[in-house]
Chains A and B, each alone.
Chain A
């Protein structure tokens, strides 16, 4: 797999991880959305944290589209779950948060799962009613 493809997977991980964090931070500032204040949801993207979260999520989305053009969804999913590991490790090494043994086991399981799937083929071509694009091939 080329450097560009690993780079796209990394952008998916970073964009979705940090995008969610900034969205949550912005929505905490806005406060609870109730039925009587539904319009707050429409104006939420104007909050700076929500806006930055959206920019990061757009980066994630474009990288995600590009990755899905050469790989299966069932290949991309485990590979992109690495964001959870990243968040836990950042919390431990940068914020000094304690990670209990169960979480270390969780980190090891995700890392093993990601290593396992990325070592296999990224695309399994199966004919669909529309037929696959002529240039789809099995990549490894």
Chain B
């Protein structure tokens, strides 16, 4: 760790993961409400797509959470080693997103997706170990 103690480092990483996941959940919900961009573009043109996104309130909530997570990432990168921040936040965000997709977005996480999620999660941990 470059500048933070172990407790502060992990608190920072959990803050980053919380903001990341919140941003992903809210953005995914917004885009689900907006609908398929391709279909919208065929019906209403590219301006119609932009209008649909920019008039969606969940999009702005997601954007705020993502902006906060971006500045938290900048601060984290200046305080904690990249080799600690990225793998820890990536694997924890992956896990919290998978749970959020099931319980918040109500996605149907099939056995195939659980298997895939576990393989990828294990892979991230081995790759960054």
Contact = CB atoms under 8 A, between A and B. Distances in A.
Query: How large, as a class, is the contact surface on chain B?
Result: 35 or more
A128 B29 CA distance: 10
Contacts of A132: 32
Contacts, number: 166
A73 B28 contact: yes
A27 B78 CA distance: 6
B88 to A, nearest CB: 13
A69 B38 CA distance: 9
What is the interface of chain A mostly: helix, strand, loop, or mixed? helix
A90 interface: no
Contacts of B107: 72-74, 124, 126
Interface string A95-133: 000000011011111111110110110001010101011
Nearest to B85: A24
A136 B27 CA distance: 17
Nearest to A50: B74
Given A66-B37, A85-B127, A113-B123, 17 more contacts: A27-B74, A28-B77, A32-B3, A33-B79, A41-B75, A69-B35, A74-B113, A77-B117, A78-B119, A81-B123, A88-B127, A110-B119, A110-B124, A116-B115, A124-B107, A133-B36, A135-B36
Sorted nearest first, the 3 A-B pairs with minimum C-beta distance are A106-B126, A113-B119, A109-B123
